[in-house]
Structure 1
């Protein structure tokens, strides 16, 4: 955030109106409302994680053991189980 002098950027009539409310103080003017990107949407991390989770689920369905998945993906058993359950739900919803 950078400091801007109102005299340099505001129309004189608006500057005069603002001076009726505040003079010589710093005022923060928030950005307009805008939709923010979700976690990992801009840099592709979300897609990478979804692909990894789908791979874990498919390997589990194909017979890989929990220990094999733990060693391959360097995740805890609890994390692997959560991924399998969550991905199973997503896959079944997509099939409907």
Structure 2
């Protein structure tokens, strides 16, 4: 994230109002709520985890045990249980 000097982008009246509340301080301006992305949307990590979880569910349905799946995917037994018994998402 790059810092921008407020006096180069804000109208003078707005800048004075901000300075009344934060004189000389740093302020973070968040993105609008509708511009937020969920974890893994940019990197593709979200899709990879969903695909892995679907594969785990299929293997469990086909007869693999929770312990076998935990070892195969390097996840805890509790994590595998959450995947196979939890809601699909």
| TM-score (norm: length of structure 1) | 0.65
Q: Which residue of 2 aligns with 1:2?
A: 3
Bigger helix fraction: 1
**Pairwise CA distance, 1:29:** 7.2
CA distance in 1, matches of 2:15, 2:5: 15
Question: Aligned Cα RMSD in Å?
Answer: 2.9
- Cα 1:31/1:50, change in 2 over 3 Å: closer
Question: Runs ≥4 in structure 1, deviation > 6 angstroms?
Answer: none
Structure 2 residue ranges without an equivalent (≥5): none
Greater gyration radius: 1
Unaligned ranges ≥5, structure 1: 92-96
Partner residue in 2 for 1:50: 50
CA distance in 2, matches of 1:36, 1:19: 26
TM-score norm. by structure 2 comes to 0.70
Q: CA deviation at 1:32?
A: 5.5
